């Protein structure tokens, strides 16, 4: 059973708890949220044994807590969208019906789908128009923690709530007494409708060369910032706008607690669906990070008094031995906006419901995946193609580029099936860029020229911090046209998008010039 916790004053009490172990009593009693009845996710099994899920994209009046409410966009009336959990080997059908008054699409993030199922408007399909239904079909053959979200006008649509969790359970995986998802996001009290995240018209897109017709620079609003505005940076504007931390769709004090029992083992699947790099600190317990972006870590080690960073679109699976009874608060805060975006996730042992939340007094170290776990040989074949990916900005952060190219006149990397491809990614800006490759997992082989010394690192999203250089390698075995972009959606909207194109690949759909496809 889950319960909520209450502080006497949201801001004041939260700051007291974050500062150290709280001396204020915390009420963990359930509270009514005043939400409308949510639609239950529709699932059935077809005659041929396929798992079938129906998702309705709709606007929902959502209460984050008793004081903050807004009109969110949701899947089946829930924020996050209701969890889809299947078994390895399942065939999965997801029917997405668009009940909004504008186009949308659904991208299954991190999972290696066929190209025509990737859900990128103008690249793999036309956007789903109002009143229409599109069916996505997958073979769930790779276990892990993934997520689904809109890839149509992503900064706006995902920002308004169009995201959910997709989990593929392994056939012979380890079992846990508790398996919980922690979805991290942020909201703006000024209202999402007040934010113009760009109005690029991609309706006349020619897919063969991703030519977006006669779209001029004057038609592009990169994050709503004027080119004449040199006083406020994008990062500063973000810090001012986003002022409410959201955990599993709720804000303090309505964030649900996790009720636990001493002597059991808990798995927490952390997912960052937002725009800020978050810091997570787990107090009073040892823990292991067992998966990056759903993919296993070899021989993970126990960590103590160590926080980890989780960038937009990344997932970290964590296992905790529940051996320290009490009322604990896992701290989550935006690294560059802690004043506005910080929260606690209560972990409450039985019989400690009325106790104060304890937190980590200080963060003594940060997790480093370059030497974590035990090294093994991944037997990568000889590299056949090498590319540079230089992340930059020509105007101090109003727009962002890859190799000095700005979407839609973007970088295109051509590969052939069977190639072993190496990218060297360099961040020449002063902000984080979580770079996401569609369609393929990649091996992280080096950081700043130094080879990875711990467990092999297999990911689909890699956060490249200012001044960092990473080497990544993947085998080209999933033909298609795949986006490779920053998953801070405002950066993608501001130009930081590229593509990996298989030589000779032709998509099996035609661009409809009457549909406003917006793949960024």
pLDDT tens track for 80-90: 998 999 999 99
pLDDT at 325: 98
pLDDT at 21: 38
Over the stretch 246-256, which tens digit does the pLDDT of each residue have? Answer: 999 999 999 99
Count of structural domains within the chain? 3
Mean pLDDT value across residues 121-150: 97
Instruction: List Cβ<8 Å contacts ≥24 apart for 47-51.
Output: 48/91, 49/91, 50/90, 50/91, 50/92, 50/93, 50/137, 51/86, 51/90, 51/91, 51/92, 51/93
pLDDT at 360: 87
From 172, 191, 209, give the residue that closes a domain: 172
The answer to whether 514 touches 125, Cβ cutoff 8 Å, is no
From 147, 172, 197, give the residue that closes a domain: 172
Q: What is the pTM of this model?
A: 0.87
- Residues 361 and 390 placed together within one structural domain of the fold: no
Mean pLDDT value across residues 349-367: 93
- Residues 343 and 250 placed together within one structural domain of the fold: yes
pLDDT at 363: 87
Nearest to 479 by CA among 457, 449, 462, 500: 500
pLDDT at 197: 41
Residue 216 lies in a domain: no
From 172, 206, 230, give the residue that closes a domain: 172
Mean pLDDT value across residues 21-30: 38
Residue 373 lies in a domain: no
Residue 52 lies in a domain: yes
- Determine what percent of the chain is predicted with pLDDT higher than 70: 84
Mean pLDDT value across residues 476-487: 98
Mean pLDDT value across residues 74-98: 96
- Residues 267 and 342 placed together within one structural domain of the fold: yes
pLDDT at 6 over 60: no
pLDDT at 128 over 90: yes
| Beta strand segments in 367-517, E | 385-392, 401-402, 411-415, 420-427, 433-437, 442-447, 450-451, 457-459, 461-464, 469-475, 481-486, 497-502
Please state, rounded to an integer, the average pLDDT across all residues of the chain.
87
| Structure-model confidence comparison of residues 500 and 218, the more confident one | 500
CATH code of 106's domain: 2.60.40.420
Please give the Cα distance from 94 to 281 (Å, whole number). 35
> Could you please report the per-residue DSSP string of 206-271?
BTTTTB-TT--GGG--STT--TT--SS-HHHHHHHH--EEEETTB-TTSPBPEEE-TT-EEEEEEE
pLDDT at 230: 53
- Residues 166 and 95 placed together within one structural domain of the fold: yes
| Structure-model confidence comparison of residues 222 and 135, the more confident one | 135
- Residues 62 and 162 placed together within one structural domain of the fold: yes
Please give the Cα distance from 242 to 223 (Å, whole number). 14
pLDDT at 47: 64
Residue 217 lies in a domain: no
Mean pLDDT value across residues 316-335: 97
Residue 280 lies in a domain: yes
- Residues 346 and 401 placed together within one structural domain of the fold: no
Residue 48 lies in a domain: yes
- Residues 426 and 389 placed together within one structural domain of the fold: yes
- Residues 147 and 70 placed together within one structural domain of the fold: yes
- Residues 57 and 150 placed together within one structural domain of the fold: yes
pLDDT at 232: 72
Please give the Cα distance from 352 to 500 (Å, whole number). 52
Residue 259 lies in a domain: yes
pLDDT at 133 over 80: yes
The answer to whether 412 touches 207, Cβ cutoff 8 Å, is no
pLDDT at 238: 85
- Residues 402 and 490 placed together within one structural domain of the fold: yes
pLDDT at 12 over 50: no
The answer to whether 140 touches 49, Cβ cutoff 8 Å, is no
Range of 453's domain?
A: 385-502
pLDDT band per the 50, 70, 90 thresholds, residue 191: low
The answer to whether 420 touches 382, Cβ cutoff 8 Å, is yes
Over the stretch 196-222, which tens digit does the pLDDT of each residue have? Answer: 444 333 333 344 444 333 333 333 333
- Residues 56 and 130 placed together within one structural domain of the fold: yes
Residue 3 lies in a domain: no
Mean pLDDT value across residues 305-317: 97
pLDDT at 30 over 80: no
| Structure-model confidence comparison of residues 13 and 415, the more confident one | 415
| Structure-model confidence comparison of residues 397 and 110, the more confident one | 110
- Residues 362 and 391 placed together within one structural domain of the fold: no
pLDDT at 361: 78
pLDDT band per the 50, 70, 90 thresholds, residue 231: low
């Amino acid at each position: 059973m889950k319960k909520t916790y209450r502080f006497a004053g949201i801001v004041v009490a939260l700051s007291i708890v974050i500062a150290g172990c709280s001396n204020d009593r915390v009420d963990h009693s359930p509270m009514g949220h005043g939400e409308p009845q949510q639609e239950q996710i529709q699932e059935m099994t077809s005659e041929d044994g396929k798992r079938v899920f129906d998702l309705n994209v709709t606007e929902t009046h959502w209460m984050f807590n008793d004081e903050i409410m807004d009109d969110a966009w949701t899947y089946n009336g829930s924020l996050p969208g209701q969890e889809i959990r299947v078994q390895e080997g399942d065939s999965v059908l997801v029917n997405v019906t668009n009940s909004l008054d504008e186009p949308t699409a659904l991208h299954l993030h991190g999972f290696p789908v066929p190209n025509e199922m990737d859900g990128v408007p103008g690249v793999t399909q036309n956007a789903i128009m109002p009143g229409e239904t599109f069916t996505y079909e997958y073979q769930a053959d790779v276990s892990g923690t993934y997520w689904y979200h809109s890839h149509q006008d992503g900064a706006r649509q995902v920002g308004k709530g169009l995201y959910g969790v997709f989990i593929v359970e392994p056939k012979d995986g380890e079992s846990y007494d508790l398996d919980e998802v922690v979805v991290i996001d942020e909201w703006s009290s000024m209202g999402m409708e007040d934010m113009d995240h760009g109005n690029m018209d991609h309706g006349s897109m020619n897919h063969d060369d991703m030519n977006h017709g006669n779209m001029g620079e004057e038609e592009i609003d990169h994050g709503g910032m004027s080119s004449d505005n040199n006083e406020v940076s994008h990062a500063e504007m973000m810090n001012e706008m986003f002022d409410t931390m959201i955990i599993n769709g709720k804000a303090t004090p309505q964030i649900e607690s996790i009720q636990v029992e001493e002597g059991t083992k808990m798995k927490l699947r952390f997912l960052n669906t937002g725009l800020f790099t978050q810091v997570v600190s787990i107090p009073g317990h040892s823990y292991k990070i067992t998966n990056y972006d759903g993919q296993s870590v070899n021989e993970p080690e126990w960590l103590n008094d160590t926080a980890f960073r989780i960038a937009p679109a990344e997932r970290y699976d964590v296992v905790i031995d529940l051996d320290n009874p009490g009322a604990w608060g896992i701290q989550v805060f935006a690294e560059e906006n802690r004043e506005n975006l910080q929260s606690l996730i209560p972990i409450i042992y039985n019989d400690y419901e009325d106790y104060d939340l304890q937190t980590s007094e200080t963060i003594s170290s940060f997790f480093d995946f370059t030497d974590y776990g035990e090294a093994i040989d991944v037997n990568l074949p000889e590299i056949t193609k090498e590319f540079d990916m230089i992340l930059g900005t020509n105007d101090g952060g109003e727009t962002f580029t890859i190799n000095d190219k700005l979407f839609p006149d973007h970088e295109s990397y051509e590969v052939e099936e069977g190639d072993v491809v190496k990218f060297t990614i360099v961040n020449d800006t002063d902000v984080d860029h979580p770079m996401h490759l569609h369609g393929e997992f990649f091996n992280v082989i080096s950081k700043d020229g130094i080879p990875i010394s711990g467990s092999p690192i297999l990911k689909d999203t890699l956060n490249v911090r200012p001044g960092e250089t990473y080497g990544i390698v993947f085998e080209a075995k999933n033909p298609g046209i795949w986006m490779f972009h920053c998953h801070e959606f405002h950066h993608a909207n501001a130009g930081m998008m590229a593509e990996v194109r298989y030589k000779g690949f032709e998509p099996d759909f035609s661009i409809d010039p009457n549909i406003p496809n917006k793949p960024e």
